[in-house]
Amino acid sequence: MRNITLVGFMGTGKTTAGRILARRLGYRFIDVDEEIEREQGVSISHIFSELGETYFRMLERDFIKALSFKEGLIISAGGGAVIDERNIEAMKTGGVIVCLTAAPDAIMKRVGNSANRPLLKVPDPMSRITELMGAREQFYRKADFTIDTTAMTPGDVAEEIIRLAAGKI
């Protein structure tokens, strides 16, 4: 039972669709950000503001590497996890990578003014979304499959992942 790792920008549905997908396949769901928060005892926002993004990315990398040696997982990786090539390698070692995308305006509606989104604590979050998506696009293309979730329900996303990953997990 190979893993399925969901990557993509924040607000594309990785956690919501991932939980549904795990239930349908009988896999265990792991949200990397949630696990880092649990392990560190503080929020991702706190880690970013007090310890820095570099420290957070180190924690993320170590966690993703550890997961690559396990089986039967649906892993929701943080939106920026793909910027480290070592994470991509670990994800591919453990199974398949599915990138979830969405239009920037859909992402803005989904994440709104969430306090849990440290990278969007800027005067113009929509511009920041567009900027970050553009910068990460080359990394997202390394996924085995890509699904545009803009007009899909989380259940539909889960079904599409099952269809695309059939025979690969």
Q: Specify the CATH number for the domain of residue 69.
A: 3.40.50.300
Dihedral sign from CA coordinates of 119, 155, 67, 36: positive
Pairing of strands 28-31, 73-76: parallel
CA distance 118 to 82: 17
> Which three-class secondary structure state does DSSP give residue 6?
strand
Tens of pLDDT along the chain (169 residues) come to 799 999 999 899 999 999 999 999 999 999 999 999 999 999 988 998 899 999 999 999 999 999 999 999 999 998 889 999 999 999 999 999 999 999 999 998 888 765 566 556 677 888 888 998 999 999 999 999 999 999 999 999 999 999 999 877 7
pTM score: 0.90
Which residues span the domain enclosing 103?
3-165
Number of domains in the chain: 1
Among the listed residues 88, 91, 76, the one whose alpha carbon sits nearest the alpha carbon of residue 35: 76
